[in-house]
Structure 1
Amino acid sequence: MEIGWPTDVRHVAHVTFDRFHGFLGLPVELEPEVPRRAPSASANVFGVSTKSMQCSFDSRGNSVPTILLLLQRRLYELGGLRTEGVFRITAENSQEEYVREQLNSGILPEKIDVHCLAGLIKAWFRELPTGVLDSLPPEQVMQCRTEEDCAKLAGLLPPAEAALLDWAIHLMADVVQEEQQNKMNAYNVATVFAPNMTQMADPFTALMYAVQVMNFLRMLILKALKERQPSTVSDTSVPDTSSSDDKEAMKELSVAVEDSADESAATASHVNSGSKTGRSSNQNH
């Protein structure tokens, strides 16, 4: 028995799928047949590979997880770039936990503190299965002395990590452009981001390497700013950590590493608590 081609075909509607909003453009008569909650390859948007997340293109053509673009857009809308200490000041754990749960459900709450948004962006990078810069040999990162060296090395990253790094660098550059209001220069923002871009088990090694990563990020930020405004950005706008400022850099990075560790521990504690509660509930039933 032969099966022929369809003879009565109609184009009912053109729909697109969005991780946070489900099917867009769906006819009203078909909505009851389609789950309202958007399905996903992962139940979480934190701590999972970008391969299991919906990605969108940013203004530079980078394909990055949509969650990052949503957090970035809301941060900008709320004036986060001009908020003093953005990405440095930590938000309350209770609010961050609540927003995490909402994001995992495909919802971005309306009222969010800018420091919570900034903290979640850092947390997203920190909780990746592998750090964005982990594929780069540490010795090569340490050998970078100029902005060109850093850019050349960044070009060796796999496409997904290269896109994430470029997105993050230009986010940090946006922050630095508002330094007069937020008090965050390239050195400051690179310092708070550095511990979140790599993963090392040994705390001391992580701290030592974070100094090099901070310089790596700082030079990429300065390069991005110079490409935007060649005549207004110079290396003297931030401290040089290659000599006498090493101790100060280590001190600040030590605080940043400790903050990242504390935030990771708090997240793990929250997850474990939720798991225990779920098991207890199941046992009661």
Structure 2
Amino acid sequence: MDHLVKKGIYKDEPAFGGYLEKVCPNEPPRVPQFVQRCIQCIEKSEDNMKTDGLYRASGNLSQVQKIRLQVDQNNLSVLDEEEDVHVLAGALKLFFRELKEPLIPYHAFHKALKAQSTNHNRKDKLLLFRDIIRSLPSPNHDTFKYLLQHLLRITKYKDFNRMHIPNLAIVFGPTLMWSEQESKNMAFDFMQQNLVIEYFLAEFDNVFR
């Protein structure tokens, strides 16, 4: 694949399947336009936000792929035309899963698992997670913050959508972070990844202070 890229035969897609930095604006907040527009479309109505199983339930896969193809042809208006919020949610999850390097970069992966699993007191644990946030490149920092703020707005409708913080963390743990090398204990890492995202959501105000 690298050889094909160098020869110009294969090119990265404009939105999906590339490096985050390359699809972010140069000015802050450095959040991809697709991510901003997709979240705006999800949040545009209270009915969307109240949808049962938002992010947990799967959207129509062919519709999700249609959005991917259109967005990669720089047609973001396809997001405004989509009426099924599960399809929009599916497209957003796909964007993060397809990144060449996860939103929480490889260098922070083991640091985050260790911060979560080690038996620290509350203050020390908070400092470790703040260090992780400070170590993120600006596109990762800004996009992660933007996404977490959106997910916290989802939880305000938890009585309707049943998406409490732990439920969202289960969905987004493996979507936002994974190891560069295959883990020897994948089940344990998955559980820890979920707990890392759960911590970032639960302690958002303190971590991003």
* TM-score, L = length of structure 1: 0.58
- Which residue in the other structure is 2:108 paired with? 136
- Which residue in the other structure is 1:223 paired with? 203
Does residue 193 (structure 1) correspond to residue 163 (structure 2)? The answer is: no
Q: How does 1:199-218 map to 2 (within 5 A)?
A: 199-200=178-179, 202=182, 205-218=185-198
Q: CA deviation at 1:91?
A: 0.7
Q: Cα distance 1:226–1:158, how it changes in 2: closer, same or farther (>3 A)? A: closer
- Which residue in the other structure is 2:83 paired with? 112
Root-mean-square deviation over aligned CA pairs: 2.5
Does residue 88 (structure 1) correspond to residue 86 (structure 2)? The answer is: no
- Which residue in the other structure is 1:167 paired with? 146
- Which residue in the other structure is 1:156 paired with? 135
Q: Which runs of 5 or more residues in structure 1 are unaligned?
A: 1-40, 228-285
The SS at the match of 2:130 is: helix
Could you tell me how far apart the structure 2 residues matched to 1:90 and 1:74 are? 17
The SS at the match of 2:178 is: coil
Q: CA deviation at 1:225?
A: 6.4
Greater than 4 Å deviation, 4+ residue runs: none
Could you tell me how far apart the structure 1 residues matched to 2:44 and 2:112 are? 38
Structure with the higher fraction of residues in strand conformation? 1
Structure with the higher fraction of residues in helix conformation? 2
CA contact (8 A) 1:42 1:52 kept: no
Deviations, residues 1-42 of structure 1 (Å, cap 9, x unaligned): xxxxxxxxxxxxxxxxxxxxxxxxxxxxxxxxxxxxxxxx95
Number of residues of Structure 1 aligned to a counterpart in Structure 2: 184
The SS at the match of 2:31 is: strand
- Which residue in the other structure is 1:125 paired with? 96
Counterpart residue type for residue 63 of structure 1: R
Could you tell me how far apart the structure 2 residues matched to 1:45 and 1:164 are? 14
Q: CA deviation at 1:165?
A: 1.6
Q: Cα distance 1:206–1:165, how it changes in 2: closer, same or farther (>3 A)? A: farther
Counterpart residue type for residue 158 of structure 2: E
Q: Cα distance 1:141–1:90, how it changes in 2: closer, same or farther (>3 A)? A: same
- Which residue in the other structure is 1:101 paired with? 69
Does residue 67 (structure 1) correspond to residue 34 (structure 2)? The answer is: yes
CA contact (8 A) 1:62 1:163 kept: yes
CA contact (8 A) 1:82 1:178 kept: yes
Does residue 53 (structure 1) correspond to residue 20 (structure 2)? The answer is: no
- Which residue in the other structure is 2:43 paired with? 76
The SS at the match of 2:90 is: helix
- Which residue in the other structure is 1:6 paired with? none
